[in-house]
Amino acid sequence: MGLVCLLTAAVPVSAFTPVLDGILNEWTGPGIVNLGTQPGIDTGTYALLAGWDDSNLYIAVDRNSTNRYLGDDYWAHDSFFFAIDTDGIAGSGASQDGYGILSFAGTMRPDFIYCYAGGAGWYETCNWTGTYWNWNGWTNAGTYYGWNEDYPNDEMTIPLSVIGGSRQVMVWAWMTREGIYDTVDASWPAGTTGYRPVFGDGAMIPEPASLTLFGLGGLLLAVRRKK
């Protein structure tokens, strides 16, 4: 019988509190997780970034090269969705998104979804009750959408208190054309695109103060076997 121990070591990382202004110059360093770059809808690319301070998870979409925006115009604008497994319990989340269109079939499933599908920073949220999605209404608190060509990127604030308090969560994210929510044009993790796709497990965002397999530091893996 073998015993496998995965050990992580904390390193000092300064709290990351960005200015929500569409400029991503401060989104660098060991406290930032790059979740990947995906092709844009017509041209360019989207890159999804994450960072934390003691109160919030922050996400940013670098969309400068796409010449597209989050907004309300059908087809011409984008809508962005960010789903989170808030409890870390296998199989406890939803099998479909809040619109009942996209499916989740992995071991882990989302319990909370942010729908950045409005203009001027407006978005809606919903939480999974165990049997249905509870809609929480619209707000524009804690967002910046990159409408100005001099400040072209998106930045969003997600309070840790809303998503279970942990800075280590599994997430799913996807980009669609506004109003065409059944067709995913870019996804995180990559590869879940097209008409009514089925998501597996999401991408794990680790705590920035931990040394993990995601390239944020070293990893010690000790294997002890009993003969």
What is the distance between the alpha carbons of residues 202 and 102, in angstroms, rounded to a whole number?
Answer: 14
Name the residue range of residue 205's domain.
Answer: 2-225
Q: pLDDT tens for residues 104-128?
A: 999 999 999 999 988 899 999 999 9
pLDDT of residue 218: 34
Mention every residue, 6+ apart, whose C-beta is less than 8 A from residue 42: 66, 67, 68
State how far the Cα of 224 lies from the Cα of 55, in Å rounded to an integer.
Answer: 39
Count of domains observed in the chain: 1
Q: Which two tokens stand for residue 80?
A: 């962005």
Q: What are 176-216's pLDDT values in tens digits?
A: 999 999 999 999 999 999 999 999 999 999 854 443 433 43
DSSP calls for 113-161: EEEE-SSTT-EEEEEE-SSSEEEEEEE-TTEE---BTTB--EEEEEETT
What are the two backbone dihedrals, phi and then psi, of residue 145, each rounded to the nearest 5 degrees? Answer: -105, 135
Quote the pLDDT of residue 118.
87
Strand, coil or helix: what is 6? strand
Task: Check: pTM over 0.85? Answer yes or no.
Answer: yes
- Contact call for residues 48 and 188 (beta carbons, < 8 A): yes
The CATH number of the domain holding residue 129 is 2.60.40
Query: Mind listing the pLDDT tens digit for each residue in 36-90?
Result: 999 999 999 999 999 999 999 999 999 999 999 999 999 999 999 999 999 999 9
Residue 220: pLDDT band (50, 70, 90) is very low
